[in-house]
């Protein structure tokens, strides 16, 4: 399924790596993933080891399990699936139980964890903006709280292929933001319509979660894009909290490629 990020020819899998007909070689890491990242338009190298540990610690406790189950139900069985921005593999491991799964992420640290957790999926370090797959390769592409890449998602999906997107809604984590910021703001509404697709289904998931340890509170905050743009004094406001109840709101949208 992988193509060479240099010449776009099909990659052949060998015992210790991949090679294309033009003899471009890519070694597998000991964990099993392959690095196909040539250029990085995201401008960073994804989550570091501490961030990956925070995500794993939080997600494995099941706070987002209802959303994961909802996506898995939509996904169905016997599909060729791309998890675009798969992170440490919490979602991928469930989706791979009944489907042929490929996961890409820009973070090597995330894929080290994903590869150990999910042995029945193939992983590659790659940019979501330059996916290492041929046109019309996938039945389904899944994107959960990851960067959006409209052109690439359309390109790699088969005719009538599906895109499943999970995005935050207006009040997602508002109480967490209230604990950090003096003037917290709600998320902007983003219209779910997308060029090149029809909407098959749209589901809103809204519920409260109670974080019962400071570790869980800090781990959740580290998972958000706010963490990188928050001053140290504001981050430290969470250090004294032993518990926090916050709203989570997910919009799960299922599209079909026209």
Phi–psi pair at 92, nearest 5 degrees = -55, -40
Please report the pLDDT score of residue 190 as a whole number: 83
Angle (nearest 5°) at CA 42 between 40 and 43: 75
Please report the pLDDT score of residue 218 as a whole number: 94
Structure tokens at 24: 């471009």
pTM of the model: 0.94
Please report the pLDDT score of residue 39 as a whole number: 67
CATH 3.40.710.10 fits domain 12-257: no
Domain boundaries, the chain: 12-257
Please report the pLDDT score of residue 43 as a whole number: 55
Whether 140 contacts 128, CB under 8 Å: no
Tens place of pLDDT per residue across the chain (258 aa) = 999 999 999 999 998 999 999 999 999 999 999 999 986 555 556 788 888 999 999 999 999 999 999 999 999 999 999 999 999 999 999 999 999 999 999 999 999 999 999 999 999 999 999 999 999 999 999 999 999 999 999 999 999 999 999 999 999 999 999 999 999 999 988 889 999 999 999 999 999 999 999 999 999 999 888 888 899 999 999 999 999 999 999 999 999 999
User: For residue 144, what are the β-bridge partners?
Assistant: 166
């Amino acid at each position: 399924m992988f193509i060479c990020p240099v010449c776009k020819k099909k990659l052949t899998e060998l015992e210790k790596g991949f090679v294309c007909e033009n003899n471009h070689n890519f070694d597998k890491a000991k964990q099993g993933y392959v690095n196909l990242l040539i250029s990085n338009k995201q401008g960073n190298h994804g989550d570091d080891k501490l961030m990956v540990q925070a995500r794993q610690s939080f997600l494995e406790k099941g706070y987002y399990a209802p959303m994961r189950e909802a996506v898995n139900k939509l996904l169905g069985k016997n599909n060729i699936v791309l998890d675009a921005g798969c992170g440490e593999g919490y979602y991928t491991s469930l989706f791979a139980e009944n489907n042929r799964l490929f996961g890409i992420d820009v973070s090597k640290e995330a894929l080290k964890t994903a590869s150990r957790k999910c042995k029945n999926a193939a992983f590659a370090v790659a940019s979501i903006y330059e996916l290492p797959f041929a046109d019309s390769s996938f039945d389904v592409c899944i994107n959960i709280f990851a960067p959006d890449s409209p052109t690439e998602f359309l390109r790699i999906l088969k005719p009538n292929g599906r895109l499943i997107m999970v995005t935050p809604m207006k009040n997602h984590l508002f109480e967490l933001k209230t604990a950090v910021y003096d003037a917290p703001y709600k998320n902007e509404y983003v219209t779910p319509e997308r060029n090149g697709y029809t909407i098959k289904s749209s589901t809103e998931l809204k519920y409260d979660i109670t974080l019962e340890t400071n570790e869980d509170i800090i781990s959740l905050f580290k998972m958000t894009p706010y963490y990188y743009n928050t001053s140290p004094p504001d981050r430290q406001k969470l250090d004294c909290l032993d518990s926090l109840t916050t709203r989570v709101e997910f919009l799960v949208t299922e599209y079909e490629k026209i």
